[in-house]
Amino acid sequence: MKQVFTNATIYTGKESLTGSAILVDDGIITGFVYDTDIPDEYEVKDLGGNNIAPALIDLQIYGGNGYLFSADPSIEAIEATYNYSLQGGASKFLLTAATNTREVFSKAISVARQYLNAGGRGLPGLHLEGPWINPEKRGAHLLECIHRPTLDEAKKLVDEADGVVKMITLAPEMVDEEIVDHLLANGIVVSAGHTNATYKEAMKGFEKIGNVTHLFNAMSQFQSREPGMVGAIYDHPSVCCSLVADGVHVDYAAIRISKRILRDRIWLITDAVAETVKGPYEHVFKGDRYVLPDGTLSGSSLTMMKAIKNCIDHVGIDIEEALRMGSLYPARVLGIDNKTGLIERNYEGSFVVFDNEMNVIDVSG
């Protein structure tokens, strides 16, 4: 099918264009033309003077629309989370399971594989956050499930996942290097998180680990005599980190300072959960966040577009860079930035259409 997207400001990920239209053939971008030179054979998608950008990508989300995936791994939970992601402008998402039993992880892997084998859309795979984390920085995670892994355990998980698990968050001080090597060799993105690593331990971990999970949250902080994980992130030349930009998980001033230091090494996640009383994670909605029954912060109520809007409105990041934080940079982390995250020839025709108030109108692709 040949389609042309016209009458919009186009944020390509490299520049903004007006007066141009995007040509898409069978889901792949084939080029640009002027709005006045649209070929007759194309189905016209008139965007009504709104805005269009690469569809967003959320690499850490636990559920949506009333379903928490790890509480009851099911096709319905995946579909509900996909629809929640679409409502927030994201066409791709890594469904995330926090520290849990091996049985829950196994069921999550099995259900995700069923969804993918049936042609399910939007899900590159799973993100396992834990259980190989530091109990001192567990946050809302289950203490009884946290442990140091063996290489044999890691190999069995990789074999069982067989490509379904795309990212694992672990504490570098809790995991031997040979395990990190095995995960990386099997195409799994390793992210340091829920960690009490010293600056020295963090920098050692960054020799192999290139990403960090939710900057500031559940990690050793920047202190004058021990810079910790945050200091190591700041000081390292290339490590990247995700961020929950809701003004609750991280103060907007801290985001602004960090963005000035890290530039294009910060990418956005929602860290969104759904309210539930089922299973070990009982998330309770408290106005603008989710907490456990004891009040521990346990997740956000963000969408990806809301996170981008917060970066624009409260941090002072310009719209083009904020959009990259939600599309191009996550695509880089996942290793798919050669086909998505930009509006460019030979890239996926996967777009988010939004108005000037950053309200999502449509997501395609």
Contact 31, 347 (CB under 8 A): no
Place of tokens 């063996």: 150
- Per-residue confidence at 284, pLDDT binned at 50, 70, 90? confident
With a cut of 90, say whether residue 349 has pLDDT above it. yes
Residues 18 and 72 in one domain: no
Residues 130 and 233 in one domain: yes
What are the structure tokens assigned to 21, written together? 């239209």
Our answer to whether residue 271 is catalytic in this structure is yes
Q: 3-class DSSP state for residue 174?
A: helix
User: What tens digit of pLDDT does each residue of 126-169 get?
Assistant: 999 999 999 999 988 999 999 999 999 999 999 999 999 999 99
Give CA–CA dist 275/291, Å, rounded: 9
What are the structure tokens assigned to 309, written together? 């809007």
User: What tens digit of pLDDT does each residue of 248-278 get?
Assistant: 999 999 999 999 999 999 999 999 998 887 7
Residues 164 and 231 in one domain: yes
Name the residue among 128, 85, 142, 59 with its Cα closest to residue 274. 85
* 110 located within any domain: yes
Residues 48 and 147 in one domain: no
Residues 119 and 153 in one domain: yes
For 316, the domain range is 56-334
Residues 109 and 187 in one domain: yes
Residues 28 and 131 in one domain: no
CATH number of the domain where residue 234 is located: 3.20.20.140
Poorest-pLDDT segment among 17-26, 172-181, 283-292: 283-292
User: What tens digit of pLDDT does each residue of 298-322 get?
Assistant: 899 999 999 999 999 999 999 999 9
Residues 16 and 123 in one domain: no
CATH number of the domain where residue 16 is located: 2.30.40.10
* 339 located within any domain: no
* 74 located within any domain: yes
Residues 16 and 85 in one domain: no
User: What tens digit of pLDDT does each residue of 182-207 get?
Assistant: 999 999 999 999 999 999 999 999 99
With a cut of 80, say whether residue 295 has pLDDT above it. yes
The residue annotated as part of the active site, out of 58, 246, 271, 337, is 271
Strand-pairing partners, residue 20, are 34
User: What tens digit of pLDDT does each residue of 210-249 get?
Assistant: 999 999 999 999 999 999 999 999 999 999 999 999 999 9
* 245 located within any domain: yes
Give CA–CA dist 157/183, Å, rounded: 10
Residues 50 and 65 in one domain: no
- Per-residue confidence at 122, pLDDT binned at 50, 70, 90? very high
Backbone angles phi, psi at 83, to 5 degrees: -65, -40
- Per-residue confidence at 14, pLDDT binned at 50, 70, 90? very high
| Helical packing angle, 151-161 and 177-185, nearest 10° | 10
The domain tally of the chain equals 2
Cα 82–chain centre separation? 13
Residues 212 and 91 in one domain: yes
